[in-house]
Chain A
Amino acid sequence: MELLWLAVSTIAIGVFGCVAWFWGSNWLLDRAYPPKGDKAGDNIRRANQIRPWLFLGPALIFLTMYLVYPVLDSFWRSLFNSNGSRFVGTDNYTWLMRDAKFRESMLNNMLWLLVVPVLATLFGLLAAQLTDRIKWGNIGKSLIFMPMAISFVGAGVIWKFIYEYRASGETQIGLLNWIVTQFGGEPQIWLTLPGWNNFFLMIVLVWIQTGFAMVILSAALRGIPEETIEAAILDGASPLQVFFKIKVPQIMGTIAVVWTTVTIVVLKVFDIVFVMTNGQWGTQVLANLMYDWMFRGTPDYGRGSAIAIVLMILVTPIMVWNIYNARKEVR
């Protein structure tokens, strides 16, 4: 109950504070440079120069404090030792290059990068194409889209239940092992199978991201001009040819967008690995490795920050590409 009050009053204070800032600062500005009297024109011009910064102010402060500053600070910190007391130059980075766990994480992240965006896009394309052609397509879309609303942790529980293992001969309560035993196979502890376990974790993310890919690709598919398709059919193209030679090339831009978005999610993947294997059995990834160095046992801020910077460097090409595209569109 107390918490509820705290929450309600903070919302009230927060919202009131924001409104008070925007309203009050505008009011002050209008008092300082009234848009009337003999200097009206001058005043309006001045006020118009200041006002955008009043509107932008809080957002700029937040963005600088919570995103720009941390990137710089992390970089700076990565040049220091574990508790930040001694400058060590690039020692943390050279250590990273030699660390077996880091190499395993990099390798796994690359594996995730190769598999997840491709599968999510493919399944998304398939789902979009199928659900667009049937009567109950909207319901189908909703259901495929649904995992999007489920937390990574919740998805972890859901899939761990599917991968659940019971010794051979006992009743299997995990769906996957049950199916395997029905076909006469041996039940497996899927999450500890070397190499393969990475794929069992990736399936979870593909399951979550396919809905996102489907929604966006479906909109793009519908935006394709009818004439191009009709012309192709008149020329005797088969449905498969229509799909791969007419439709897919026209939505290449959207596929790229889906691909980059999923790629970003994959680079940052943390929760799934954290709750399902915690990086054991060869499933470590960068984000979880960083968490380990920062918050387990004695924190090593230098190495943790270095891993964070590696992550930052990995997303930079996509960041540049996004900015380039956005600017192209503004013009």
Chain B
Amino acid sequence: MEGMAGQKSSLSWTVNIAAFLLVLLWTIPTLGLFVSSFRDRDQISTSGWWQSFSGSEQTGFVRSGTAEDQVQQDGLYVIEGSALEGTQALKAWGTGARNPAEFQPGDTADLGDGISLTVAEDGSYRMTSAQPFEMQRGERIFTTTVSPPSFTTENYNRVLTAGGLGRAFMNTMTVTIPATVIPILIAAFAAYALAWMQFPGRAVLTAAVVGLLVVPLQVALIPLLRLHNDLGIGKGYLGIWLAHTGFGLPLAVYLLRNYMVGLPREIIESARVDGATEFQIFRRIILPLSFPALASFAIFQFLWVWNDLLVATVFLGNTREQLVMTGLLRELMGSRGGEWEILATSAFISIAVPLLVFFAMQKYLVRGLLAGSVKGG
């Protein structure tokens, strides 16, 4: 890595490969969940999701027909049938549990007593004997089969129609939207006052907002729950909206103030000279100009509220009707830890909306992060 001109291309190859590996490492976990949500229960529990593209191998056994099924052909006694169902392809077969993949498709096995068995690639078997068959139970035929890669949307049907996910989705929506809109409004006015109005205590208040940014939410749980009970709000949507508004405000005020301070002074001064009231200035000039900052905060708050578990568990309650999606997921992890098809599908549905928002509005998210961290922090 001497960085001289001649080695430039090998260096850039190294960078490309390293970046690719890093991206791969960061994407694979989510990809695994996504792929798994399209596989049915048997597939998930018998093979890893990374093998789902190459078709999965299964082993099993069937019993051949018994003496009753035999027919006479060309002087031989013959039992015929199929060892496979559906569209599976036979990879290997055998006659004993010790070595279930002893023979290739088309091979003939000698079972002793003049009996021989052939299993063809399509799974049809043919057992022949010079003497009449007398067995009451069929011979065991072990098969190793390969199913073609198959994906299904059955999990989504099942999870969305039953299991309370639809309800939880609605609950999450009901929590998230007001809890995003209300703090923006309140914060915008406060940020304008902190940025452009003269009054004693302004610096102290601004510092206080910065300080409140890091207060751990855990501190607020018990006091607020008691406060809500005393005020008669109790557990419910109103309580959780108010709580999220309170918890989101420091960041909202901070982000918006930082942005509004940077707006050109002349515009505001000249509007004041023209006799516009503060309210008019705010509504006609500041709000439209601050759109990028408003959008940034809206995304933060949306993601935060949508993904929150703690506040929802404490302020909304835990009955089936009240669960938000994160709460439901947690419950599923406890009660259905082994049913990965349900878990994967539910998890993917719950992260689909934030992912959509994320990819659609990434620009504003990045801008907000930079405004919040690089400048002040």
Q: Which residues of A contact B (CB under 8 A)?
A: 3-4, 6-7, 10-11, 14-15, 18-19, 22-23, 26, 30, 48-49, 51-53, 55-56, 58-60, 62-63, 65-71, 73-74, 77, 123, 126-127, 130-131, 133-134, 137, 140, 142-154, 156-162, 164, 171-175, 178, 207, 210-212, 215-216, 219-220, 233, 238-240, 242, 254, 257-258, 260-261, 264, 267-268, 270-271, 274-275, 287, 290-291, 294-295, 301, 304-305, 307-309, 311-312, 315, 318-320, 322-323, 325-327, 329-330
Contacts and interface: CB of A to CB of B under 8 A. Distances in A.
* Among A10, A70, A73, A274, residue most surrounded by chain B Cβ atoms (within 10 Å): A70
Interface in B302-352: 303, 306-310, 313-314, 326, 329-330, 333, 340, 343-344, 347, 350-351
A58 B278 contact: no
Contacts of A66: 220, 224, 242-243, 245-247, 249
Contacts of A267: 216
Interface stretch (B78-86, B102-110, B353-361): B353-361
Interface string B12-54: 1001101110110011111011001000000011111110000
Given A242-B3, A268-B218, 9 more contacts: A10-B238, A62-B242, A73-B222, A134-B19, A157-B344, A261-B377, A274-B309, A326-B376, A327-B203
Contact of A60 (B33, B190, B199, B214): B190
Contact of A14 (B29, B182, B219, B220): B182
Contacts of B355: 146, 149-150
Nearest to A7: B174
Contact of A220 (B340, B354, B358, B374): B374
Given A51-B197, A56-B189, A216-B369, A63 B19 contact: no
**Chief secondary structure at chain B's binding surface:** helix
Given A10-B241, A143-B26, A145-B362, A51 B278 contact: yes
8 contacts: A7-B177, A55-B189, A55-B192, A58-B190, A71-B219, A126-B22, A150-B351, A275-B329
Interface residues of B, number: 117
Nearest to B372: A261
A294 B377 contact: no
B253 interface: yes
Contact of A161 (B1, B303, B344): B344
B45 A308 contact: no
Nearest to B44: A173
Interface of B: 1-3, 11-12, 15-16, 18-20, 22-23, 26-30, 32-33, 36, 44-50, 170-171, 173-174, 177-178, 181-182, 185-187, 189-190, 192-194, 197-199, 202-203, 205-224, 226-227, 237-238, 241-243, 245-247, 249-250, 253, 277-279, 282, 303, 306-310, 313-314, 326, 329-330, 333, 340, 343-344, 347, 350-351, 354-355, 357-359, 362, 366, 369-370, 373-377
A312 B174 contact: no
A70 B278 contact: no
A130 B16 CA distance: 8
Contacts of B36: 161
A147 B30 contact: yes
B241 A14 contact: yes
A88 B30 CA distance: 49
A60 B202 CA distance: 12
Given A178-B48, A239-B3, A327-B207, A134 B26 contact: no
A186 to B, nearest CB: 17
Contact of B218 (A14, A287, A319, A327): A287
Contacts of B237: 6-7, 10
A256 B156 CA distance: 44
Given A15-B185, A271-B310, A149 B221 contact: no
Nearest to B26: A144
A175 B48 contact: yes
Contact of A130 (B15, B243, B313): B15
A19 B181 CA distance: 12
A305 B178 CA distance: 29
Contacts of A154: 307, 326, 329, 347, 350-351
B227 A65 contact: yes
Nearest to B167: A3
Contacts of A49: 199
